Amino acid sequence: MQTTIRHAEQDDYAAIAHIYAQPLAAAGTMQIPLQSREVWKQRLAGMATHDRMLVAVVQGEVVGNLGLHPVPNPRRAHVAGIGMAVRDDLHGRGIGTALLKAAIDLADNWLNLLRLELTVYADNTAAQRLYQNHGFVLEGTHRAYALRHGQYVDTHAMARLHPAPPGVR
Ligand X SMILES: CC(C)(COP(=O)(O)OP(=O)(O)OC[C@H]1O[C@@H](n2cnc3c(N)ncnc32)[C@H](O)[C@@H]1OP(=O)(O)O)[C@@H](O)C(=O)NCCC(=O)NCCS
Q: Name the site residues for ligand X (rule: CB under 6 A).
A: 24-25, 28-29, 84-86, 91-97, 118, 120, 124-127, 129-130, 133
Q: Rounded to the nearest whole angstrom, what is the least distance from the CB of residue 125 to ligand X in the complex? A: 6
Q: Rounded to the nearest whole angstrom, what is the least distance from the CB of residue 94 to ligand X in the complex? A: 4
Nearest residue (CB) to ligand X, 29 versus 160: 29
Nearest residue (CB) to ligand X, 16 versus 85: 85
Q: Rounded to the nearest whole angstrom, what is the least distance from the CB of residue 126 to ligand X in the complex? A: 3
Nearest residue (CB) to ligand X, 94 versus 140: 94
Q: Rounded to the nearest whole angstrom, what is the least distance from the CB of residue 86 to ligand X in the complex? A: 4
Nearest residue (CB) to ligand X, 13 versus 136: 136
Query: CA gyration radius for the chain?
Result: 16
